[in-house]
Structure 1
Amino acid sequence: MSSYIDVVHPERHAPYLDIPDDVVDYLHYLDFVKLRSPRTVNGYYLDLRGFFRYMMQRWQRVADDTPPEEIDLTGITTADIRTITKHDIFDFLDHARSADNGPKARARKLSALKGFFNYMCTQVNRLAANPTENISLGSPARALPKYLTRDEAVTLLSNIQSDFYERDYCILTLFLNCGMRLAELVTIDMGDFRDDTIRIVGKGSKERLVYLNDACLDALQRYKKVRASLPNLVDRDALFVSKRTGKRLSARRIEQIVARCLQSAGLSGRGFSPHKLRHTAATLMYQGGVDMLALKEILGHENVSTTQIYTHINREQLKKAVAASPLATQKYVEQKPSAPDAPDPNDGEYSPDGSESR
């Protein structure tokens, strides 16, 4: 991750000091006009920086073996960008594939390039032609979400080893019951609760209300009681704070907490993460009969097509249905030896004179 994102305060970023001025203008446009989230803008920053580092080598302005971080992009002008062709875009995408970037990563890079060149053509009129026009990589295959089973989720909650047990139990409980994103959980404030609901600020600063079940309300009550007794509470608005410093927990710190809890539960090394706990919440809710449109609202998805990935649970239900057949446990029966039957003259396989029919 670049220095653009402040880990402790993900809504802040440092000045852009290592990219062309046109790219700086575009990122500010995304930030202030389009109101994209800091992490979304940071993703565009990284992809566009990588593209122009590639172009510096393609333009032969640096040696091929120059470390990427030593390539100075600040001298790239609008006139330089005007020389970029569709062929350059294709070669960059091919270069990304040879560098082990999967279909999803290449599609993301192309999206960043399309957004930038469209801005240059239509918003500020600095380019007459868009080199990314009509370039498509197709839709990358969507992987099925990885999630914990119900028993594994119970095991996780039952084996937390922590010096701030109430806080860490509450963190896991909210992840597993509300299906919120890591960035959403980090930014929860004490004032975001009302009765049995929580206000969550999701992608694009979009707000949604999520109802809290009894497990969440109980975990919150127990944690808030301990939190109130902290002697050095600094970030009084923040829900989840450090026991030592009293400051809001960072996203990275919560990742560490989740990893430690997974390890103590014997669930480490299997690719689980805070985002997989979000998948777990969605999967278990869908298994419990939650309507797809309701699940979309709970998760804060823009389109129900994103939520439909959780219909993979139907496969488990179909598997159980087949297993419930009365013949599911029938053992294999060896064929009993018998004399071969005489040929049937009417089955079309033999002619009346005994020769094989054609």
Structure 2
Amino acid sequence: MSGVSASIDSFLEMLAAERGAARNTLAAYRRDLDDCTAFVVRHGGHTLRDATATDLHGYLASLGQAGFAARTVARRLSCLRQYFLFLMRDGVRRDDPTAECETPRRSVTLPRVLGEGDIAALLDAATAPPDASPLRRRRSAIAQAAIEMLYASGLRISELLALPRVVAQAGGGAGMIVVRGKGGRERLVPLSERARDAARALLAIDGRDADSDPRGPLFAGRTAGRPLTRQAFDHILAEVALRAGLPTGAVSPHVLRHSFASHLLAHGADLRALQTLLGHADISTTQIYTHVMDEHLRDLVERHHPLGGGAERP
């Protein structure tokens, strides 16, 4: 087993060094490989490094029988394929047992999006009343800055909470900021003037500005010098959604990111440009938003075409 563990360690080291895989990605790959190892040892009587196509067919079938989603099974197969290709490249194996395994078909799950009116309602609900307590004012300032940035720039929540205070100084108009995304990849995204104003308002409530420790977290948590946690932000966003009259389960940072992408496409944005803004490595990931547009167009025809089901008959 030690040889297998060593080969898995080497594989993960390669992913980190050559592809810049993130820590969470490496941890997920290790869990997947360890799980497959346990299955092969238990049912095949040998190690993962020596697994056969029959072993892997059995493993993938067991995942389906256990109720794992096709997306999860496909991800684990992708991990195994990369692992065995790594072994072939290093001369440990001459064949790839995953070559005979078919990727399960995944149903297309359309991303949830908010309407443009819903976004406006969220921003209105994030505004603190004049008699609000200092705590309420700060939570409102966090919500306003976060919603503006998530919706205006399509950031992931991890990217948002990692932003330094200096982003409040981005140039006039649609100033560009550098964001470090998945796998440590950097990209430029625009930051609207409204979003910068909201960021400066948050810093003012905290008694700071962008010049004071510019690398410090824009969204500071309770501990000095540490950013707000994801859980704490989720609570703030849920409060705002409730005040806006929206189901709390329908509003999340990723829904705001989806809304950013869908609304851009609806207003004529180019798919390749959208891929760059979202930081997608593969255009196929971005193409999911074309399905959203297809649904929108079908809905328009259904509601407004003379022969549509929702159209009024003369």
Bin the TM-score by the shorter chain: 0.7 to 0.9
1:47 aligns with 2:32: yes
Q: Which has the higher helix share?
A: 2
Question: Helix, strand or coil: the match of 1:132?
Answer: helix
Instruction: From the superposition, tell whether residues 51 and 299 of structure 1 become closer, same or farther in structure 2 (CA, over 3 Å).
Output: same
Deviations 1:220-261 (A, max 9, x none): 22112223449xx99952221114544112344434433443
Normalised by the size of structure 1, how large is the TM-score? Answer: 0.72
Deviations 1:116-145 (A, max 9, x none): 1111221x3223332212422255232111
Partner of 1:58: 43
**2 CA distance for matches of 1:150 and 1:42?**
38
1:88 aligns with 2:58: no
CA RMSD of aligned residues (A): 2.8
Q: Which moved more, 1:251-260 or 1:35-44?
A: 251-260
Q: Which runs of 5+ in 2 are unaligned?
A: 129-135
8 Å CA contact 1:235–1:241 kept in 2: the answer is: no
The one-letter amino acid of 2:186's match is E
Partner of 2:94: 128
Deviations 1:294-315 (A, max 9, x none): 2222212223332222222243
Correspondent of 2:163 among 179, 183, 188: 188
**1 CA distance for matches of 2:247 and 2:213?**
33
1:319 aligns with 2:299: yes
**1 CA distance for matches of 2:236 and 2:161?**
13
List structure 1 runs of 4+ shifted beyond 6 angstroms. none
1:292 aligns with 2:271: yes
8 Å CA contact 2:150–2:257 kept in 1: the answer is: yes
Partner of 1:34: 19
How much has 1:266 moved relative to structure 2? 3.8
**2 CA distance for matches of 1:125 and 1:80?**
17
Correspondent of 2:154 among 162, 166, 179: 179
Instruction: From the superposition, tell whether residues 115 and 304 of structure 1 become closer, same or farther in structure 2 (CA, over 3 Å).
Output: closer
Question: Helix, strand or coil: the match of 1:164?
Answer: helix
Count of aligned residue pairs for this structure pair = 292
The one-letter amino acid of 1:125's match is G
Q: Which runs of 5+ in 1 are unaligned?
A: 1-18, 61-78, 332-358
Normalised by the size of structure 2, how large is the TM-score? Answer: 0.81
**1 CA distance for matches of 2:300 and 2:235?**
36
Instruction: From the superposition, tell whether residues 125 and 320 of structure 1 become closer, same or farther in structure 2 (CA, over 3 Å).
Output: same
Which residues of 2 match residues 200-215 of structure 1 at below 5 A?
200-215=179-194
1:267 aligns with 2:242: no
**2 CA distance for matches of 1:271 and 1:265?**
12
Instruction: From the superposition, tell whether residues 199 and 24 of structure 1 become closer, same or farther in structure 2 (CA, over 3 Å).
Output: same
Partner of 1:141: 107
Partner of 2:9: 24
Instruction: From the superposition, tell whether residues 324 and 175 of structure 1 become closer, same or farther in structure 2 (CA, over 3 Å).
Output: same
The one-letter amino acid of 1:156's match is L
Question: Helix, strand or coil: the match of 1:144?
Answer: coil
How much has 1:100 moved relative to structure 2? 1.1
Deviations 1:73-99 (A, max 9, x none): xxxxxx733431111101110111111
1:330 aligns with 2:313: yes
Instruction: From the superposition, tell whether residues 321 and 130 of structure 1 become closer, same or farther in structure 2 (CA, over 3 Å).
Output: closer
Instruction: From the superposition, tell whether residues 242 and 234 of structure 1 become closer, same or farther in structure 2 (CA, over 3 Å).
Output: farther
8 Å CA contact 2:151–2:260 kept in 1: the answer is: yes
1:113 aligns with 2:80: yes
Question: Helix, strand or coil: the match of 2:189?
Answer: strand
The one-letter amino acid of 2:313's match is Q
8 Å CA contact 1:239–1:248 kept in 2: the answer is: yes
Instruction: From the superposition, tell whether residues 235 and 44 of structure 1 become closer, same or farther in structure 2 (CA, over 3 Å).
Output: farther
How much has 1:217 moved relative to structure 2? 2.1
Question: Helix, strand or coil: the match of 1:208?
Answer: strand
Instruction: From the superposition, tell whether residues 179 and 82 of structure 1 become closer, same or farther in structure 2 (CA, over 3 Å).
Output: closer
Partner of 1:282: 261
Instruction: From the superposition, tell whether residues 34 and 303 of structure 1 become closer, same or farther in structure 2 (CA, over 3 Å).
Output: closer
How much has 1:271 moved relative to structure 2? 4.8
**2 CA distance for matches of 1:316 and 1:29?**
43
8 Å CA contact 2:170–2:191 kept in 1: the answer is: no
Instruction: From the superposition, tell whether residues 23 and 82 of structure 1 become closer, same or farther in structure 2 (CA, over 3 Å).
Output: closer
